[in-house]
Amino acid sequence: MSEKNLIIIFFLIQSISYVLCGCELKEADDCGMKGSFFGNRDVLVPTNEAEMDKHCGLIRESLKCLNDFTGNCLKGFVQTTIKMAVGNADKHLMKRCDNSEDRKEFLKHVKCLTDKSKMEPMHICAEKNSVMMEKLVDVALEDRIPSGCCIFHSFQECIRKNMKEQCGDEAKDYWDEVINEIVSRGFNFVHLF
């Protein structure tokens, strides 16, 4: 979930102008923030297997919360799209948690981020992304998907630039691949419409 990871989920949720009565988008924001890596200054940057287990537990909790919100508060196409996006994130993130090689790779690339000052530029990228996503509801319906794509690319470029500066090319390439893996299926789905 760490790649703001549920970027496409936030993109779609922030684009929604209608949710069922009794539901608030803040619920979805809170769910997503629990498992977010960038944008959550309280995030645990795991350095060992025990901390990785805790990290994965938070991700599972966050994804369950998002799934519950989606099932209870959204309907129709939006519900289907969000469920698909959560499913895409879930596949990637659980692979990270359940596959020993992926766990090692993740721990290797987050090592540099245990210094909170190196993580701060990524949090700023995520905050800028959130502000821009919130503005999507003010964009004409026919322009929301292209606008969302531009916002996503701006976020990804911000992460690339800052990750390279803070942790080097290898970490930049790793996170770029992670973000692409999570959102590419969602963007391919959206392009069908």
Domain count, the chain: 1
Q: What is the DSSP letter of 111?
A: G
In a domain, 51, yes or no: yes
Which domain range does residue 164 map to? 7-183
Domain assignment present for residue 25? The answer is: yes
Q: Which of 39-43, 52-56, 136-140 is least confident?
A: 136-140
The band of 9, judged by pLDDT with boundaries at 50, 70 and 90, is low
Domain membership flag for residue 190:
no
Residue 192: Cβ within 10 Å count: 5
Please report whether residue 2 resides in a domain: no
Model confidence at 79: pLDDT above 60: yes
Q: Is residue 191 part of a domain?
A: no
| Residues near 7 by beta carbon (within 8 Å), at least 6 away in sequence | 129, 152, 155, 179, 182, 183
Residue at 193 is within a domain = no
Question: How many Å apart are CA 99 and CA 91, to the nearest integer?
Answer: 11
Which sign does the torsion angle of CA 76, 77, 78, 81 carry?
positive
Residue 104 within any structural domain of the chain = yes
pLDDT at 185: 58
**Would you state the pLDDT for residue 164?**
96
93 located within any domain: yes
SS3 assignment for 124-178: HHHHHHHHHHHHHHHCCHHHHHHHHHHHHHHHHHHHHHHHHHHHCHHHHHHHHHH
Task: Please give the model's pTM, rounded to 2 decimal places.
Answer: 0.78
Q: Which residues of 66-92 are buried (b: 16+ CB within 10 A; e: fewer)?
A: bbebbeebbeeebbebbbbbbebbbeb
pLDDT in tens, 12-46: 555 444 455 567 878 888 888 888 888 899 888 99
